[in-house]
Amino acid sequence: MANTEVIDEVPRKRSKLPMIIGLVLALAGGAGGFFAVRSGLLFSTDGHGVEPASETGKNVGILPDIAFVPIDPLIINLGPTARNQTLRFRAELEVVKAHEQEVVAILPRVIDVLNGYLRAVEATELEDPSILIRLRAQMLRRVQIVTGEGRVRDLLVMEFILN
């Protein structure tokens, strides 16, 4: 009979050197790209970072003639079934400067509309992180209806706090 040897082969460990080299090169490339953009070597015409508007010769444009009308803070009780007890809401209205006094005169009606709308929203909806965009659009539309078209340009939410 022939002697047959059974050789137990132990698998060789793979070298981690290629992974380490790849990681170092990726970090160096990222740092180099950051440096190039930050120092103005890329995406800049003057070589010193962001182009100042006064040196570009571009017409920046005049800001629109607007005013901001603050709305008194609203405290809304969310009810016994809600996870939070109250909502604190504060906003400002962006209005055309020519209509500022008209909007200020009708502000109690605006507050009434916002208060009624926020009380009608389900407490579970208020806890959704994406609700603020929808609420803002709904409230802006209601405010524009109350004040009349063309007076209120935007509603800026300053505080939206659930306690």
Q: Between 59 and 25, where is the model more confident?
A: 25
Split into its structural domains, the chain has a count of 2
116-129 pLDDT, tens digit per residue, is 999 999 888 888 88
Cβ neighbour number for residue 131 with a 10 Å cutoff: 15
Q: Are residues 73 and 52 in the same domain?
A: no
Same domain, residue pair 24 and 45:
yes
Token pair in block for residue 61: 């444009």
In the predicted structure, residue 45 carries a pLDDT above the cut 80: no
Residue 147 has pLDDT above 50, yes or no: yes
Element (H, E) at 36: helix 17-39
Of the chain, the percentage scoring pLDDT greater than 70 comes to 84
Do 102 and 151 lie in one domain? The reply is yes
Residue 99 lies in a domain: yes
pLDDT tens readout for residues 79-122: 888 888 899 999 999 999 999 999 999 999 999 999 999 999 98
Please give the single-letter amino acid code of residue 134: R
**CB-based contacts of 53, cutoff 8 Å, min separation 6:** 60
Domain match, 80 and 158 both: yes
Query: Is residue 1 domain-resident?
Result: no
Q: Domain limits at 24? A: 17-56
Beta strands at 86-96 and 74-77: parallel, antiparallel or unpaired = antiparallel
The verdict on residue 2 lying in a domain is no
Same domain for 155 and 94, yes or no, is yes
- What is the pLDDT confidence band of residue 67, given thresholds at 50, 70 and 90? very high
Show contacts of 78-81: CB within 8 Å, 24+ apart.
78/123, 78/126, 78/162, 79/123, 81/123
* Angle at which helices 107-120 and 131-147 cross, to 10°: 140
pLDDT of residue 3: 58
Q: Are 73 and 140 contained in the same domain?
A: yes
Is 72 within a domain? yes
* Nearest alpha-carbon partner for 114 in 75, 68, 84, 163: 75
pLDDT band for position 49 (cuts 50, 70, 90): very low
- Do residues 94 and 144 lie in contact, with contact meaning Cβ atoms separated by under 8 Å? no
Q: Give the pLDDT confidence score for residue 15 in this predicted structure.
A: 86
Report the pLDDT averaged over residues 25-30.
Answer: 91
Provide the percentage of residues in the chain whose pLDDT is more than 90: 52
CA 30 to chain centre: 26
